[in-house]
Amino acid sequence: MKKILALVFILCTLCSQVAFAASWYWIGQDTSGDQWYIDNASVQKDYYNAIVWIKINKADGESTVEQMKLDHVYKTYAILAFTNYDSDGNVTDSGTNNYPSYDPIVPDSMGDAIYHNVWSN
């Protein structure tokens, strides 16, 4: 009986780890050489809004992970949270924005690429 309970516990642990794993999808490279990714596993969307996690790997080895909210109707975005990392993976800065301000999504920008990956129209 103890072996069965241990096996069930191990299987539940493995399943929960898989469910929370990020699934980074490459969006593109900006003019600075930074590589942009979106976490497909964490996208929450409906027709009006989407909340997505974005990772930006900078050319100098540093990186940023941002939680972004997109407005489908007005084609705007706001940064809800961010964490910056140095080239060794250490956190250098982080923060949340309780009162985000929305900016327009500029055509042919990385924001535009993210928007069109979330909504195909």
Residue 86 lies in a domain: yes
Are 24 and 43 contacting, i.e. CB atoms less than 8 angstroms apart? Answer: no
pTM reported for the whole predicted model: 0.78
Find the farthest-apart pair of alpha carbons in the chain and give their distance in angstroms, rounded.
61
* Phi, psi of 70, deg, nearest 5: -110, 140
Instruction: Look up tokens 């103890």; give the residue.
Output: 2
Asked whether residue 102 is assigned to any structural domain, the reply reads: yes
Taking CA 111 as the corner, what is the angle to CA 119 and CA 32, rounded to the nearest 5 degrees?
145
**Residue 18 domain flag:** no
Predicted local distance difference test score (pLDDT) of residue 115:
96
Per-residue pLDDT for 35 more than 90?
Answer: yes
The total number of structural domains in the chain stands at 1
Give the tokens for residue 120.
């195909």
Range of the domain at 89: 23-118
Residue 9 lies in a domain: no
Answer whether residue 6 is part of any domain. no
Domain-located, residue 85: yes
In this structure, is residue 15 part of a structural domain?
Answer: no
- Is the residue at 69 inside a domain? yes
